[in-house]
Amino acid sequence: MSLKKTVNVALGSRSYPIHIGADLLANAEILHEHIVSKQVLVVTNETIAPLYLDKLVDQLKVRFKVETAILPDGEKFKTLEYLSEIYDVLLQKRCNRQVTLVALGGGVIGDMTGFAAASYQRGVNFIQIPTTLLSQVDSSVGGKTGVNHPLGKNMIGAFYQPQCVLIDTAVLTSLPDRELSAGLAEVIKYGAICDKEFFQWLELNMDSLLARDNEALSYAIKTSCEKKAEVVSKDERESGIRATLNFGHTFGHAIETDLGYGEWLHGEAVSVGMCIAAELSSQLGWLPVSDSRRIKVLCQRAGLPVEKPATMKAADFIGHMKVDKKNITDTIRLILLKSLGKAVIYDCIDDSLIETAITKYGMKYS
């Protein structure tokens, strides 16, 4: 077996391990101990299926009766309608409460499969095998599952933890450049919100990451999972500190909602969102302008967009942000930076502050 690192997500009886290593898909017997009955349903999408589905099924079918469900690929299919297709297969194949669902794919597949597991027969087991950098460093840790609604992203879902996560870094070789960059947005986020040294490491190693150097990727993934696991362990249901993980996301969700899900990748929207949030942090006199600039430059070097879509005005952002689920009453809840590596929750009661940041940001850099 290849070298394997393990990060433990400490959540009491819901704790689970994240195994990270090159070519772990060829060693899927790691999963056996987490599967309680003969029934396994692997959920994946049309892009991933031809690449890795057979490999995984071959590994599992030695011990289990394996069914598969293949969904179309993309955020726009993260809906109740396509979720229903997973339920349909589960029932057509007469899967009972002991079934284990396996999510083989990116964040969309992980979120949908996780919510299907949370809600099928009021809860069955599931395992995550994230195949994009974004899902490896973000959605595979912490148990947020769900689907989108036409009026808002991730509006329907559950907190539901997997039995384990298997991260095969070798699958990143087949990941399109654009998606690698989108994943790096979340990696940069961990540096920005809670680890200045990791941010500096990213500045030094961005070229290796883009060259898909396996050692650099493994380190970035492990560190990201550790950062997230630490926050999630303290606040599983996001009543406090976990909200800081949403740095850049409130602005980012506004972009995704405005353009329609799937136009921009999640990480791309988050990149612009982080740049605007950093601008606002500087505007409040917290974050030195030079550090706000470093965030923008690092995102740019990662191949990410750093300017808002030309079609969106400040008022469009504010309209969308007021229905974002992170909001409390009429204020807009933002995650800002007190300094590089230190995020805070900020309930903004003055829309004009946000308007200014968006407008100023656009003017200064464009």
The catalytic residue positions are: 122, 144, 186, 228, 238, 242, 246, 249, 253, 266
CB of 351 to its own copies, least distance (A): 15
Listed ranges 27-35, 138-146, 280-288, 340-348: which one lies at the site for its own copies (CB under 8 A): 138-146
Residues 104-123 that bind its own copies (CB under 8 A): 115, 118-123
Q: What is the DSSP letter of 76?
A: G
Nearer to its own copies, 178 or 325 (CB): 325
Measure the CA–CA gap between 153 and 253, rounded to whole angstroms: 7
Nearer to its own copies, 116 or 216 (CB): 116
Q: What is the DSSP letter of 92?
A: H
CB of 20 to its own copies, least distance (A): 26
Site membership for its own copies, residue 347 (CB under 8 A): no
Nearer to its own copies, 257 or 282 (CB): 257
Candidates 32, 61, 97, 234; binder of its own copies (CB under 8 A) is 97
Site membership for its own copies, residue 300 (CB under 8 A): no
Nearer to its own copies, 204 or 328 (CB): 328
Site membership for its own copies, residue 82 (CB under 8 A): no
Per DSSP, the three-state class of 3 is: coil
Residues 223-242 that bind its own copies (CB under 8 A): 237
Draw the binding track, 312-331, toward its own copies (x: CB under 8 A; -: no contact): ----------xx-x-xxx--
Site membership for its own copies, residue 156 (CB under 8 A): yes
Are 113 and 129 in contact by the 8 Å Cβ rule? The answer is no
Site membership for its own copies, residue 84 (CB under 8 A): yes
Residue 271 CB contacts under 8 Å (≥ 6 apart), including other chains: 185, 188, 248, 252, 299, 302, 304, 305, 306
Site membership for its own copies, residue 37 (CB under 8 A): yes
Distances (CA, A) of 37 to 60, 63, 64, 69, 98: 12, 10, 8, 19, 6
Nearer to its own copies, 3 or 91 (CB): 91
CB of 158 to its own copies, least distance (A): 6
CB of 134 to its own copies, least distance (A): 19
Site membership for its own copies, residue 142 (CB under 8 A): no
Distances (CA, A) of 207 to 104, 113, 182, 313, 341: 28, 34, 15, 34, 22
> Counting Cβ atoms within 10 Å, is residue 74 exposed (0-12), middle (13-18) or buried (19+)?
middle
Measure the CA–CA gap between 242 and 220, rounded to whole angstroms: 20
Count of chain residues binding its own copies (CB under 8 A): 38
**Triad 256, 360, 310: Cα angle to 5°:** 40
The one-letter amino acid code at 340 reads L
Site membership for its own copies, residue 98 (CB under 8 A): yes
Site membership for its own copies, residue 94 (CB under 8 A): yes
What the block records as the tokens of 171 is 């699958």
The H or E element that residue 171 is part of is none
CB of 238 to its own copies, least distance (A): 8
Measure the CA–CA gap between 218 and 142, rounded to whole angstroms: 19
> Rg of the chain's alpha carbons, rounded to an integer?
20
Q: Which residues bind its own copies (CB under 8 A)?
A: 37-38, 80, 84, 87-88, 91-92, 94, 96-98, 115, 118-123, 144-146, 149, 151-152, 154-159, 237, 322-323, 325, 327-329
